[in-house]
Amino acid sequence: MPLNAVMVVDKPAGWTSHDVVAKVRRIVGERSVGHLGTLDPLATGVLPLVLGRMTRLCQFYGASQKAYEGTMRFGVATDTYDADGEPVGRAQPVQVTLEEVIAAALPLTGSIQQLPPPFSAKKIHGVPAYKLARKKQEVELKPVQVEVTEFAITALHGDTIEFRCRVSSGTYVRSLAHELGQRLDIGAYLAGLRRTAVAEFTLEQSHTLDAIAQAAAQGRLDELLVHPRRVLPEIPSVTATEEDIGKIRHGRRVNLPEMSRSPWVKVFAGQAELVCLASRVAGTLFHPKVVLI
């Protein structure tokens, strides 16, 4: 029987997002598994997974805001903009104050134009930039518009700063580190990164791969799943009648009188079975757009 669920993994360092997906497929025995936002191997933290028919919800998370905390190191830049890369140029002496770093970070907040790192999954004529960069081919990336809601420098320890940030989808925290080093004229790279939130999913909801494997072996995997009513909290929920659920199964429109002002609604059978996401056609008439049964 397919497992239709949402689970939040605390991704370990050194693993790609694809590695985590493959591991969870094996643990839970569900072939259809996807993630809601790639994390670089260096990074740890929140990696929400959608399993079974819940993979159909990916379309609602394409522009999700993400939150991070981590460290950046001054004195040298790297070709990947993070600790996994090779140094670029000479090392520079680091003699900056916390106030100077905070002032340099200020222009990197708000709606900004950001240049993606050359070693990234950003595609150039259909080819990921990192593949071209590894072949020493010239990588011509264009700036993209991103939104940095918060970029707070919280501490300075010698050549290393601690920070937290909240950014739009498509923002590279590695690029923030590189740009900050350029602004201070001393070079910088991302030394460590932990994602603390993706959309409504947080670290408090996350589980290690070992904990997931143990729960699956003990037959208590349900304890680790995100309750469906906590998914897409901005969309209101309604519990449907058996008659309406029958209509939804056949792709027919349903009348939901209490939802006359909402463009979308989550339709449930009982408290925990998400039947579909329906969009309003007119008045209180809704059409099942994403059916999960």
pLDDT of residue 129: 39
What CA–CA distances, in Å, run from 33 to 14, 19, 55, 74, 236? 20, 12, 7, 38, 25
Q: What is the pTM of this model?
A: 0.90
- Backbone φ, ψ for residue 142 (5° rounding): -105, 145
Q: Indicate if 117 and 176 belong to the same structural domain.
A: yes
Burial 172-207 (b: 16+ CB within 10 A, else e): bbbbbbbbbbebbebbbbbbbbbbbbbbbbbbebbb
Token duo for residue 135: 């072949």
Q: What's residue 78's pLDDT? A: 93
Residues 78 and 183 in one domain: yes
Percent of the chain at pLDDT exceeding 70: 92
Catalytic hit among 10, 19, 40, 82: 40
Residue 260: the pLDDT is 72
**Residue scoring higher pLDDT (48 or 3):** 48
Which of these, 197, 172, 196, 208, lies nearest to 11 by C-alpha position?
A: 208
| Residue 210 known to be catalytic | no
SS3 282: strand
How far apart are alpha carbons 117 and 144 in whole angstroms? 12
State the Cα–Cα distance between residues 75 and 94, nearest whole angstrom.
Answer: 6
The reply to whether 120 and 140 lie within a common domain is yes
* Residues 75 and 132 grouped into a single domain: yes
**Which amino acid is located at 56 in the chain?**
R
Q: Which of 168, 191, 214 is the last residue of a domain?
A: 191
pLDDT for 201-224, tens place per residue? 999 999 999 999 999 999 999 999
Do 59 and 80 lie in one domain? The reply is no
Residues 154 and 206 in one domain: no
From 143, 153, 72, select the one nearest 106 (Cα to Cα): 153
Of 32-36, 82-86, 244-248, least confident by mean pLDDT is: 82-86
Residue 74 structure tokens: 């001054």
Nearest to 267 by CA among 226, 216, 232: 232
pLDDT of 120 reads 56
Closest alpha carbon to 292 in 1, 25, 52, 31: 52
The structural domain count of the chain equals 3
Cα–Cα distances in angstroms (integers) from residue 289 to residues 29, 35, 292, in the given order: 27, 21, 10
Q: Are residues 9 and 121 in the same domain?
A: no
Q: Please count the other Cβ atoms lying within 10 Å of the Cβ belonging to residue 288.
A: 24
Report the alpha-carbon distance of residue 180 to residue 106 in Å, rounded. Answer: 10
- Give residues with Cβ within 8 angstroms of 156, minimum separation 6: 96, 97, 98, 101, 162
pLDDT at 134: 45
Assess whether 52 and 115 both reside in one domain. no
pLDDT-derived band of residue 179, with 50, 70 and 90 as boundaries?
A: very high
pLDDT on residue 115: 87
Amino acid at 13: A
- The pLDDT of residue 261 is 82
Q: How far apart are CA 91 and CA 220, in angstroms?
A: 52
Instruction: Please give the pLDDT value at position 125.
Output: 42
- Looking up residue 138, the CATH number of its domain turns out to be 3.30.2350.10
Domain containing residue 267: 230-291
Structure token pair of residue 153: 């420098």
Q: Compute the residue count for the chain.
A: 293
The reply to whether 113 and 147 lie within a common domain is: yes
Same domain as 136, residue 25 = no
The verdict on 251 and 271 lying in the same domain is yes
Q: What is the CATH number of the domain that holds 240?
A: 2.30.130
Q: Is the pLDDT of residue 164 over 90?
A: yes
For residue 91, pLDDT beyond 60:
yes
User: Would you state the pLDDT for residue 139?
Assistant: 56
pLDDT band at 130 (very low <50, low <70, confident <90, very high): very low
Predicted confidence at residue 127, as pLDDT, reads 43
Nearest by Cα to 175 from 100, 122, 98: 122
State the pLDDT at residue 133. 38
Above 50 in pLDDT, residue 131? Answer: no
Q: What is the mean pLDDT of the chain?
A: 91
Query: According to the model, what pLDDT value does residue 180 have?
Result: 97
pLDDT band at 142 (very low <50, low <70, confident <90, very high): confident
Predicted confidence band at 1 (pLDDT cuts at 50, 70, 90)? low
pLDDT digits (tens, 9 = 90+) for 229-256: 999 999 999 999 999 999 999 999 999 9
- Give dist(CA 269, CA 260) in Å, integer: 20
DSSP string, 203-237: GGG-B-HHHHHHHHHTT-GGGGBPPGGGSSTTS-E
pLDDT level of residue 87 (50, 70, 90 thresholds): very high
Is the domain of 111 the same as that of 221? no
